[in-house]
Amino acid sequence: MNEGMDRTPITREFFDRPVLEVAPDLLGRILVRSSDEGPIELRLTEVEAYAGEADPGSHAFRGPTARNSVMFGPPGHSYVYFTYGMWHCLNLVCGPEGRASGVLLRAGEIGIGAEMARKRRFSARHDRELAKGPARLATALGVDRALNGTDVVAGRQRPLSVLHGSPPSPDQVRSGPRTGVGGDGSHQPWRFWIDGDPTVSPYRAHVPRRRAT
């Protein structure tokens, strides 16, 4: 993963763009999770775009709340949410301040720090499964709500940062519907991934929850 990789930090201007520009451009970038245990580096291979109040699939669709307030803040910060009472998911906020949008980090290839990720993801049968899916990614990196609102462009000593990495060529990038999104947002081709990469998670269509009778 490290061969030919550009370790220049991503700037805030990178994130201060429309979400549909930022999302595919994050593929191949390196997310660094720093802690007292040491760094973990992950090359992003799959992401999803969420367009805030213009997107029925977004947490920010109905406006700001205590939960999603980070999405309405400045670009280049992390938005971490807790789901199904057991999993965390990591997003990166983009676009201009005051207009919520973000990119869900769905999957990636872990290089440096894989031994730490294996301890957190002990059920993974292969290293390619360590961060294969958004909840697995957050678990492998040790990400929880304590990192919500982290500035990812404020320097490499922060808990989370993003390096330029090695983006794929345009012909390697694929797009399709977002995983598990239903309703009016179900058909937007806002999931982006690197074609053929073994760390990309399988697509699953939305399944409506049945109410108890």
CATH code of the domain covering residue 63: 3.10.300.10
What are the φ and ψ backbone dihedral angles of 186, each rounded to 5 degrees? -75, -25
Question: How many CB atoms sit inside 10 A of residue 98's CB?
Answer: 9
Q: From first to last of the 213 residues of the chain, give the pLDDT tens digit.
A: 656 789 999 999 999 999 999 999 999 999 999 999 999 999 999 999 999 888 888 888 888 999 899 999 999 999 999 987 789 999 999 999 989 999 999 999 999 999 999 999 998 999 999 999 999 999 999 999 999 999 999 766 789 999 999 999 999 999 999 988 877 777 899 999 999 999 999 888 766 655 544
Total tally of structural domains belonging to the chain: 1
Q: Is residue 203 part of a domain?
A: no
Residue 10 lies in a domain: yes
Q: What is the pLDDT of residue 213?
A: 42
Residue 178 covered by a domain: yes
Residue in 30, 24, 28, 34 with CA at minimum distance from that of residue 9: 30
Residue 201 maps to a domain: no
**pTM of the predicted model as reported, rounded to 2 decimal places:** 0.92
Say if 213 falls within a structural domain.
Answer: no
Whether residue 156 lies inside any domain: the answer is yes
Give the phi and the psi of residue 130 in degrees, each rounded to 5: -60, -40
Range of the domain at 16: 6-194
Q: For residue 204, is it within any domain?
A: no
Say if 170 falls within a structural domain: yes
